[in-house]
Amino acid sequence: MMQGYRWGYHNGFGPSNCQERPINNLDFFIPYSRNQIVSSPSCKVTPNKSAVSTSGSSFSEISSPTRVYEAALILIRHGESLWNEKNLFTGCVDVPLTKKGVEEAIEAGKRISNIPVDMIFTSALIRAQMTAMLAMTQQRRKKVPIIMHNENEQARVWSQIHSEDTIKQSIPVIAAWQLNERMYGELQGLNKQETADRFGKEKVHEWRRSYDIPPPNGESLEMCAERAVAYFKDEIEPQLLSGKNVMIAAHGNSLRSIIMYLDKLTSQEVISLELSTGIPMLYIFKEGKFIRRGSPIAPTEAGVYAYTRVCNFLSSLSLIIMNLCKCFHPTGSIYLLLLHKA
């Protein structure tokens, strides 16, 4: 359990309050010992009225800091949806959460309840928005997440908040189509097993797990990454630079794309990356770099990012050793070959 972690954070939407924010209920963060507490530099900040320009509302009129020691980035894949449960290709079809998905979202919120979230980004799809809003019901600060409506001028005016005190007790939620799930084209709505039987397992696996091959009239992971990463760089990263703690509730492929950017993964590494539903992952944004702190799920569960990379590393290492063994004895690599295939 983490104790005594020093956070330079932006409290609400007014001037920054540099305070110590102990986080002691998150079992998945890498802890600092008490003699390793990071000291925050000077808390002098310069007001920046454009720091939340993505909201397009009165939120942007409240000044916010441009220099903060570090910020938190939380990534959450939406909870289980009704089509996840039915084993259907969902893509950009707007499907809500199951009862299990609701419970996953609430549990995710409990795990991040001590992190003062300042801003939320979700996709335009209801399952991601439900996950974000349900998770925020567990926040200890009891701030209210509010979906910003920027579709047109009338929507902005009608949803405007006219109380600065109320704004300070609110968290803006930005819904962006760029964070939507990968569009699966003609596969959307089809049963995954029936699709494999119809087109062949290899072809369906190629559509789902290759980097640059799209399904019929759909998006490849590469195409999904182009829009998701561009949006992250343009709209989300500036919020982290201004010192805001940001949560992104989105989808397996849009989040894989963002993680590819954060951790500098190759196209081969990202296709083996799996993310479980309703599991939060934490990054610390510090001095222009993203430091991944981890995920709370156990090593035996599907979707553990760190273990995906370790398995790839061990697989490559076994091939190297196997080839070295062949140099000394032609049959000496048989056991390592079996290990590699296992």
pLDDT digits (tens, 9 = 90+) for 189-224: 999 999 998 889 999 999 998 999 999 999 999 999
249 & 323 share domain:
no
249 & 334 share domain:
no
Sign of CA dihedral 10, 11, 15, 17: negative
Residue 115 predicted with pLDDT over 70 = yes
> How many of the other CB atoms lie within 10 Å of CB of 227?
18
Is 78 an active-site residue?
yes
1 domain-assigned: no
DSSP, collapsed to helix, strand or coil, labels residue 333 as coil
297 & 325 share domain:
no
291 & 311 share domain:
no
294 & 317 share domain:
no
Domain count, the chain: 2
Range of the structural domain that residue 325 is part of: 304-342
Distance, CA of 147 to CA of 169 (rounded, Å): 14
What is the structure's pLDDT at 320?
Answer: 57
89 domain-assigned: yes
pLDDT band at 54 (very low <50, low <70, confident <90, very high): very low
256 & 140 share domain:
yes
Sign of CA dihedral 27, 266, 256, 273: negative
Distance, CA of 216 to CA of 174 (rounded, Å): 31
111 & 77 share domain:
yes
Pick from 121-125, 253-257, 321-325, 335-339: least confident: 335-339
Q: What is the mean pLDDT of the chain?
A: 76
Q: Which two tokens stand for residue 334?
A: 């048989």
What is the structure's pLDDT at 74?
Answer: 97
58 domain-assigned: yes
What is the structure's pLDDT at 334?
Answer: 36
Active-site hit among 78, 80, 104, 251: 78
Residue 2 predicted with pLDDT over 60 = no
Q: Averaged over 54-71, what is the pLDDT?
A: 51
- Helical pair 334-341 and 305-328, crossing angle rounded to 10 deg: 160
296 domain-assigned: yes
pLDDT band at 59 (very low <50, low <70, confident <90, very high): very low
103 & 17 share domain:
yes
| Domain CATH code at residue 106 | 3.40.50.1240
Q: Which two tokens stand for residue 144?
A: 């209210």
pTM equals: 0.70
Residue 274 predicted with pLDDT over 80 = yes
Residue 161 predicted with pLDDT over 70 = yes
Active-site hit among 104, 181, 219, 251: 181
Which residue, among 152, 146, 151, 142, has the nearest Cα to 172 in the 3D structure? Answer: 146
SS3 of 93-127:
CCCCECHHHHHHHHHHHHHCCCCCCCEEEECCCHH
207 & 218 share domain:
yes
230 & 329 share domain:
no
247 & 326 share domain:
no
The single-letter code of the amino acid at 16 is: S
Query: Which H or E run contains 336?
Result: helix 334-341
231 & 338 share domain:
no
